[in-house]
């Protein structure tokens, strides 16, 4: 229940604790754009593990996540729609806005 600045401060702090001090952080979030920053993601629904792995492995399973009414990062959602609704040649789902921009720059010239 933090504002965007507060969320960013918390994320920066836990990332710093993890990277500089080697502290393991367990973060429970509904914000998928935060989940892409993790080393490992575990997706649960009603107490059961649906899938787990790196963010790239987990968020490549868009259909599975959507079947359980779960969100995906915005970059993944955009490219998923472009691929499925317009036939865009998407090889790998971008996880971050920067990856999304790169992917778009590669597929737009083909249109």
40-49 pLDDT tens trace: 999 998 899 9
pLDDT of residue 108: 77
Enumerate residues 6+ apart whose C-beta is below 8 A from 111: 88
Does this model's pTM top 0.85? no
75-108 pLDDT tens trace: 999 999 998 888 888 888 899 999 999 989 888 7
Farthest-apart Cα atoms in the chain, separation: 47
Taking the C-alpha atoms of residue 21 and residue 28, their distance in angstroms, rounded to an integer, is 20
């Amino acid at each position: 229940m933090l504002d965007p600045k507060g969320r960013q401060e918390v994320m920066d702090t836990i990332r710093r604790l993890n990277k500089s001090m080697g502290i393991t952080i367990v973060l429970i979030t509904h914000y998928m754009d935060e989940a892409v920053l993790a080393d490992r993601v575990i997706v649960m629904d009603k107490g059961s593990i649906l899938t787990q792995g790196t963010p790239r492995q987990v968020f490549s399973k868009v259909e599975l996540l959507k079947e359980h009414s779960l969100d995906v990062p915005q970059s993944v959602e955009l490219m998923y729609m472009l691929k499925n609704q317009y036939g865009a040649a998407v090889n790998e789902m971008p996880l971050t806005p920067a990856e999304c921009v790169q992917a778009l720059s590669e597929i737009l010239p083909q249109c």
